[in-house]
Structure 1
Amino acid sequence: MEYGRKGVELLKEIVHHDVDSLSAYNEDLVRTVITEVKEHNAQTIRITQQYESADSQVVSSDAWSDNLDAAAAVVVHIQCAIRNKKLLLAYMLQRVERLKNIRWSQKALPTSTAINCSPQELEFYKGYDRLLSRYMSKDNGIGLDLTLDIRPPKANNVLVKVLESQGDMMFSFGQASLMRGTLHLLPVEEAEPLIREGAVKMVHAGNGY
């Protein structure tokens, strides 16, 4: 029997998949690996029970010394069960981390990814989405959309130079006239859409604008 092979196959599925999405949740293979863990545990119990003392459920060191093959078999079964558990946890962790990254980079779970999730993964994503949205909200959180830039902002405002005149625009602090060539200090989350459209560009001190 090739112990741990199924667990390795499971982990390879997600590791070799596109990092920005999820492979289909392989429930059949997950169940197979879990079954292997149960079989290893059952074999461990079966072997140890043969050498338990009559008055307690403990195997003496002398019993193992006299039966090295059995002792080795127990070690193999225990280590195989642990290895399979680690592979399962690594598989689950990889998928959860990708779901979190999708929330940060895409803001919503694409249908093409959602159909590859297990029911539990969908519940996790919904819960994570609620927590993150609440944390960033103006009413209950910090009032800043942290997903606009994967790099933590150094300040809540950013200095921009207008590349294409936008006329008078309303911002959270009031009205500003965005005319070509003018400089403005805007809130990061309100400047980001304009930067993406190419209407303005960020200005860094010392770059001569």
Structure 2
Amino acid sequence: MSRWNELTGGTLGETYDSRFAALAAGGTDVHGEARFCAALVPPGSRVLDAGCGTGRVAIWLAEQGYDVVGVDLDASMLAVAEQRAPGLTWIEGDLADLDLDLAGSFDLVVAAGNVIPLLAEGTEPQTIRNLANALTPAGVLVAGFGLDAGHLPVRPTFTLDDYDAWCAAVGLRLDERFATWDGEPYRNGGYAVSVHRR
């Protein structure tokens, strides 16, 4: 079972969405991840939102002209995403068992919102392999996640060195790393946004 499901029971879709709606209504920018991705590949590019949740990133990108597919294990999250954007492709599935029959077809794969640390422990290397397999030869993998107790709702179980090694094992090299989705330089803090390319 994923650490996300252990934490939430897979029932928090509406609650999660309401939280971000309240932040947006209060003037908080909730689209930093999506804008970050849009700066890496042009409109029209194919994007896989891995661990898409309620679709916040995928829907914004689709509105900017990207061809987006969202995948998530949590049916309650996907129910909200489907209600908000019924015209997009939403797939319920475990990223560790990802079999989209779309190998090599995405220009960018994004895993935002602590997706990687909330996988079932031990499935991280296979998940990274699956995400890499979904990329085109010039594709980009982007992941942002916490590394310590201050940035994670669960106990950290791997380091950035581990993550880079999993990426390297499937032919991806670290291109850039930031401390935030706004592009602040990474200086060994508790949160990192990593860009890996072939």
Instruction: Provide TM-score, normalisation by structure 1.
Output: 0.19
Higher helix share: 1
Structure possessing the higher radius of gyration over alpha carbons: 1
Greater relative contact order structure (CA < 8 Å, 6+ sep): 2
TM value normalised by structure 2: 0.20
